[in-house]
Amino acid sequence: MKEEVQSAMRKIPSMDKLLVFPWVAVYESEIGRDAVKATITEVLDVYRKKIKANHDIAFDEEIVVRDVKKLLDLKSTSSFKKVINATGVIIHTNLGRSLLADEAIKAVNDIATCYNTLEYSVQEGTRGRRGDHVEWLLCRLTGAEAAIVVNNNAGAVVLALGALAKNKETIVSRGELVEIGGSFRIPDIMALSDTKLIEVGATNRTHLKDYSSAITNNTALLLKVHPSNYRIAGFTSVVPREELSALAHKHGIIFMEDVGSGMLIDTKEAGLTDEPTVRECLEAGSDLVTFSGDKLLGGPQIGAIVGSAEVIDKLRTYPLLRALRVDKMTLAAFEATLRLYLKGSYESIPTISMIFKKPEDLKKQAECFLNQLKSYFDSTKLRSVTAEVVNTIDTVGGGAFPLSELKGYAVAVRLPELGSTGKLLEMLRNASTPIITGASDDKILFHMRTLRPGDEEIIVKAFNEFLTIQPTHGE
């Protein structure tokens, strides 16, 4: 047994032997000699482990070399790269949430490559405040008295709770103790901010008297959290924000709302009705509303806090604010995005324009793409291709409107000669520009709503890459 292990170990090529291959120099120029060596070690260690666990694995030097090159290829190119989103989920958190408008990109480019007025007032020739660039815009667009921005909405909630309710009590409905995206849990955020969580009501129903009877001399805040990615249906009851704010103000405490998505415009026209706009929250009496910049708002990652000037002033002096400071590129993108709202140019904001895409236009787009795909497949040796336009339900994503369905269109494709749908999805994911999508009924679906101009050609290219790498496959 031991001898078998030793003889298998001897089949693993040595580091020195691998380092003299001519292709090593190419990788060295990309990532340096040390990283090349570390990568080779990583692969060789996998073989050593496998042999120890199961000594009769079959391999030869050629296979080891192939694995080494595969890992070196991966490490020599950027892993953070563009993908095609054919899922029909507009605000896809794993795929980077909102895309920036052209105006925002231009602003980022100008600011990142030039010295700028980040904290400089050209009128006075003195130091300025970085928040000045966007706070007035947020006030105009939401009707708030004051605003402040931080790194993201999770940071906004931590900051507000810490500054306003540290060592005091914060009352939240049991139905709103939500977890968003796996790492943002309301009870954990409360603990982090040193505020005592007072849960009231039941999971499905909370009444005004549940809140009022929980208020003590030590209560600092009533907090309302938008349940974002989930809804309780059936026998439910939540207290309207008007009543919560009246109750809070009667007792001289603050009513704060984490609204999540930060909608600035009305989306009822698109059939999306179960999210309030930030302005609606403030008009209903919220003292403070927090929301994300890169969800429905369609800007960069940011956390916005808007509301009463008196309350926001208390946040300005809280030391955590400095740790959650917003970067100049983000501020540039955010200012440019907010200015598009001010102008009413909503269509220039990709997230908004994707939400409002008309089904008939998506159908036309799908028919065009179908023809493009068909003529490509006709030029190949593939014989049993099925491709058709189908109806789909697209989603907003990002925890917004979980129940709202956007009527869309996709091109559905079956290519049995190339393998199962699972195999095809893997092949598309591994294309030089990865194509991310899903399957239904044994067919891969390319949703039109989330494709950007030119993506159709890239998808055809991905099929072509695969067919040229495996020219004999399926024959």
Ligand X SMILES: *Cc1c(COP(=O)(O)O)cnc(C)c1O
* Furthest-apart CA atoms within the chain: distance in Å: 83
Q: Which is nearer to ligand X, 349 or 428 (CB)?
A: 349
Could you give the CA distance from residue 374 to residue 385 in angstroms, rounded to a whole number? 8
Residues 6+ apart with CB under 8 A from 51: 5, 8, 9, 12, 57
Shortest reach from residue 392's CB to ligand X, in Å? 24
Residue 292 lies near ligand X (rule: CB under 6 A) = yes
Site track 205-244 with ligand X (rule: CB under 6 A), x = hit: --------------------xx-x----------------
Shortest reach from residue 364's CB to ligand X, in Å? 34
**Residue selected from 39, 152, 392, 395 as contacting ligand X according to rule CB under 6 A:** 152
Residues in the chain: 475
Residue 267 lies near ligand X (rule: CB under 6 A) = no
Among 21-29, 152-160, 235-243, 366-374, the segment contacting ligand X (CB under 6 A): 152-160
Shortest reach from residue 293's CB to ligand X, in Å? 7
SS3 assignment, position 288: strand
Q: Which is nearer to ligand X, 320 or 425 (CB)?
A: 320
Instruction: Count CB neighbours of 279 within 10 A.
Output: 18
Residue 399 lies near ligand X (rule: CB under 6 A) = yes
Structure tokens at 337: 């995005």
Could you give the CA distance from residue 428 to residue 388 in angstroms, rounded to a whole number? 18
SS3 assignment, position 254: strand
Q: Which is nearer to ligand X, 12 or 355 (CB)?
A: 355
Residues of this chain, 153-212, that bind ligand X according to CB under 6 A:
153-154, 180, 184
Phi and psi at residue 236, in whole multiples of 5°? -130, 160
Could you give the CA distance from residue 192 to residue 162 in angstroms, rounded to a whole number? 8
Structure tokens at 242: 């008007």
CA dihedral sign, ordered 261, 262, 268, 270: negative
Among 12-20, 150-158, 268-276, 422-430, the segment contacting ligand X (CB under 6 A): 150-158
Shortest reach from residue 166's CB to ligand X, in Å? 19
Residues 6+ apart with CB under 8 A from 157: 189, 193, 258, 290, 303
Question: In terms of C-beta density within 10 A (0-12 exposed, 13-18 middle, 19 or more buried), how is residue 108 classed?
Answer: buried
Shortest reach from residue 326's CB to ligand X, in Å? 12
Question: How distant, in Å, are the alpha carbons of 41, 64, 327, 339 from that of 134?
Answer: 50, 55, 13, 9
Q: Which is nearer to ligand X, 28 or 199 (CB)?
A: 199
Q: Which is nearer to ligand X, 87 or 228 (CB)?
A: 228
User: Residue count at the site for ligand X (CB under 6 A)?
Assistant: 14
Residues of this chain, 408-467, that bind ligand X according to CB under 6 A:
none
Kindly report the CA angle at 5 between 4 and 7, in degrees rounded to 5?
A: 65
Q: Which is nearer to ligand X, 275 or 455 (CB)?
A: 275
Residue 286 lies near ligand X (rule: CB under 6 A) = no
Structure tokens at 180: 């968003």
Q: Which is nearer to ligand X, 173 or 292 (CB)?
A: 292
Question: Do the beta carbons of residue 39 and residue 71 sit within 8 Å?
Answer: yes
Question: Do the beta carbons of residue 207 and residue 247 sit within 8 Å?
Answer: no
Q: Which is nearer to ligand X, 296 or 467 (CB)?
A: 296
**Residue selected from 13, 131, 276, 303 as contacting ligand X according to rule CB under 6 A:** 303
Could you give the CA distance from residue 388 to residue 415 in angstroms, rounded to a whole number? 12
Residue 300 lies near ligand X (rule: CB under 6 A) = no
Q: Which is nearer to ligand X, 223 or 340 (CB)?
A: 223
**Residue selected from 88, 131, 162, 260 as contacting ligand X according to rule CB under 6 A:** 260
Q: Which is nearer to ligand X, 184 or 369 (CB)?
A: 184
Nearest residue to ligand X on Cβ basis: 260
Applying CB under 6 A, the residues found at the interface with ligand X are 152-154, 180, 184, 225-226, 228, 258, 260-261, 292, 303, 399
